[in-house]
Every structure is written in C-alpha cells, then in structure tokens.
Amino acid sequence: MAILDDLSGFEFEDLIEDVFRNLGYENVRQAEKTADEGRDVLMEEVVDGTRRAIVVECKHTGTVGRPVVQKLHSAIATFDFDGPKRGMVVTTGRFTDPAQEYTNRLQQNDDPHPIELLDGEALREIADEIGLDLYNGRIEILCDETLRPHDPATDVDAPVKERFRDIENIEAADLPEPHSTVTFRPVVAVTADTNAVFETSVGVIHRINDRTQFVVHADRGHPKVADDDVATLVIENFHAAVPLDIGQLTEVFDDVEERRFGQTQTEYKEWAVDRLQDYHTTTVTYTGDNNVTYNKTCKPNLSDISVQSIEPVYLPEVRQTTELQEYSYPYEYYAAGPSRVTLEDGIHRCVHCETSGIDETYTYCPNCGAIACRSHIKTERVEGEPVCTGCAVTERFALKPKYFYGEQNLETFREEYAEMPLHEKAMENPLLAGGSVVAALLLIIGLLVI
C-alpha cells in the first residue's frame, strides 16, 4: 500500500525529519546514532515567545506500547536543554491503549515533559497536507504553489512590448501577439545555520557563526545553486506565491508545462550540508606557544550544520516569441509577477552580426522584419525609411552605393537620376561633390598664384 511500510528504520527517521521541517519546526535534526537513548529526532518550537525543545522517538513498527513512551519520558528529562521540553512518539502503526492512557495521564497531571502520540494514519494525513508523497514509491516533494508567471495588473505580453520600446522604427502597439509558453521549474529555498569553534593549545583560532540562505534548481539531475539574481527573485517573492492552477493558466499561455522535483527533501538536505561543509572549510594560520607558525584546515563537522528549512516552490520560466515577417524574436525570462530575470533577449540582438545587449542602438527594417545594429541599417533612397543591408538592393550612383527595398524602387530611382541636372547628380555623393569643389578651388588659386 504505502511506502511507509517498505521503509527501513533510518529511512523512516529521514522521512520524519522532512515532515517536521515542513510543519515549521526549527533546528530539526537527527540525534547522534552512537547510543540508543530514545531520542531519534530533535527539534525546537517557539510558543508565546518561549523556545521549547522537542524530543522525538521514531518507531517503524506495527504496535507501540507503554514501555516505549515511558522510555521517551526519561530521555526527555535527561536531555540537555536550557528551557522547557516535551516529547513525541511517531509510528507507522498504532498505539496500544496503555500507551495512550499513559500520555493522557501526563497531560492531566501537568507533567513538565508531556508527550504527543502520532500514529501512521495521522502521519499520512499530515504528509498529504504538506506535500510529501508517500504512495508512489519515493518520498517525493509535491508542491502546489508558484511564483506568479505574469503580472495580473497587465497583459501577459506586456514584458515583450516593454522590451521593444527602445527598438527604433517600430511601435510596441503595432506588434503582433507573441507565442507564449511557460514552464514551471521546481526550486527549493534552503536556510541553514553553521556554528563551529576550532581550538588548539593556544585557544580559539577560528569561529563560524553563519546563517546561509540560497536557492537550488531542483529539476531531475544534480542540484544546482541558482545565480544571485535568480535567488533574489525567488526569496523576495516567496511570500507572494500563488496556487498553481494549470487549467486557468492554459487560458493565458499557449503552452504550459510543469516539471517534477528531482529528489527528496532528505537528499536536498544532505546535499546542502555537504556543500556548506565545503564552503566553510578554510585554512587558518596561527602561532603556537613555541612561536612556530602553523597552518590548520578548519572544516566544520556535519553536526555543526543545521538545515532550518527547505521550502519548495515553482519558478515560472516564460518564453515569448514574436514573429515579424522573416524573423522570430524570442524573449525568455524567469518571472515573479512584475519582476523578471532575463535568460535570453533575442530582441536586442542584430540579426546580421554578433552585436547584442541593451546598450546598443537597434532599428527595425519594415522591408524584411529584421532588427539590426547601426552598422547594418541604411536609409532607403526612395522612401527615406530604414532598410537593413540583408534585404536591400544596392547600386552605385555618383560612385556611392544607394539602398532600395527592391528592384521596383531601384528602377524608379534610375529614372529619376537620369532626369537630374548634373549638380543634383553630384549631390548624390556629397563627399565626392565637396571634394571636387575643394579641388577646383585649389586649382583656381594655383593658377592665380602662377
């Protein structure tokens, strides 16, 4: 039936760690397995401003009796924590009547170390609520929230129109509707604390007290830390996540795709801990009591790193393609409502060369639909409008090349040129005409001097 029945004891503890972290408990971690003291998972909660420790006993078994609960009560009492403490027994099965009577009596007597019982049925209900799939053969992250794929206050093609505003010779209002697709890519936001002290005979030589927050791309395959701008986009808009409604989004986008999370929460947690361990490893130089200089590699232990939260959410990757005559212009970005991180900008890119970027000037060619840089845009001789070098028909007049939309415009100008007086023909090449005038003046001056 459920995967719960197929888990090993250690896998069950991994699962319980994931469940409680998703429920919002803090500093959730597994206890050291060097001794069985009735403490499997440790965590903390804040109630009315007071921080309280919770000691969890995990029992992957069919029935849990009173002795297990009594043993946990003793483990709570001996657990070293400066503040109130309580306990919890979690099982894949059920609790006997004596076990339930014992925990009820603790509560009725206002025992300082009360215990809560969580059986397999309640565990499955909680897992469903927080999006942990226990039924498909793996403890998979299920997520039903996404950052907004578009700004609800504007049209879905507003980002494209905004991108076209600085393209010369075309109005954003005249653009055709782009083909819009959205892929909901899974990411997890990880928050972890690293606390470690490194000492030698001379005392403390290095200390780590750091809270790290980063975002991980969580598609199938190896996890990858998101770039800073993407992480900022996710973290700053996490609070504004909305339910992922594929049916509603198909009315807005032409194509909608939802990707699945590639790994379990436990796997992401272990990966994050390994990464932070490497990140915080450093070599410290210090002077010993004998005035000799030493180098020591300070690497935090796994127990020094505590993952506080792993929060899943979908990050919309939007791709909008605008068709303008012979050319297609893609604009791809991660979206969070009105905020975006650009992945590909095919609008600010010359179709004829490698020039790209928003710092250049680009002009639209109405003859073929090209967007070109200044080096590849000319003025059409008959119409006086821009034309790109890729589609223009050219011919030299007064030794200067002229650019035309097509053979018809070229023929029209040939006829006009044939009827022009000599001085107007010469002005088709102002540089040549100006040079000829200067040369003539110099010749006259030379003759006068002679």
Q: Average pLDDT for consecutive 10-residue bins of the chain (450 residues)? A: 60 83 87 66 92 92 89 92 94 89 94 92 78 55 88 94 96 94 96 94 94 93 93 95 92 93 82 94 93 94 88 96 97 97 97 94 97 97 96 92 96 94 81 54 71
Continuous H helices in 32-79:
66-78
Q: Are 298 and 283 in contact (CB under 8 A)?
A: yes
pLDDT value, residue 390:
96
Exposure string for 28-56, b = 16+ CB within 10 A, e = fewer: bbbbeeeeebbbbbbbbbeeeeeeebbbb
Q: How far is CA 440 from CA 293, 426, 433, 436, 446, in A?
A: 85, 14, 11, 6, 10
Whole-model pTM: value is: 0.70
Q: How far is CA 363 from CA 163, 266, 308, 332, 357, in A?
A: 13, 52, 51, 21, 13
pLDDT value, residue 11:
76
Contacts of 160 (CB under 8 A, 6+ apart): 175, 178, 320, 322, 331, 347
d(CA 265, CA 263): 7
Q: Are 216 and 187 in contact (CB under 8 A)?
A: yes
Beta bridge partners of 41: 30, 56
Task: Concatenate the DSSP letters of all residues of 138-205 into one string.
Answer: S-EE---EE--SS-TTS-TTHHHHHHHTTSBT--GGGPPPPEEEEEEEEEEEEEEEEEEEEEETTEEE
pLDDT value, residue 19:
86
Q: Taking the CB of residue 106, how many other CB atoms lie within 10 A of it?
A: 19
First to last CA, the chain: 114
Per DSSP bridges, beta strands 224-225 and 203-217 are: antiparallel
Q: Are 76 and 86 in contact (CB under 8 A)?
A: yes
pLDDT value, residue 132:
66
Token duo for residue 362: 């680009």
pLDDT value, residue 449:
76
Per DSSP bridges, beta strands 255-258 and 179-200 are: parallel
pLDDT value, residue 138:
47
The rounded Cα 288 to chain-centroid distance in angstroms is 46
d(CA 212, CA 309): 11
d(CA 52, CA 39): 16
d(CA 310, CA 312): 7
pLDDT value, residue 136:
46
- Output the CA angle 245-250-251, nearest 5 degrees: 105
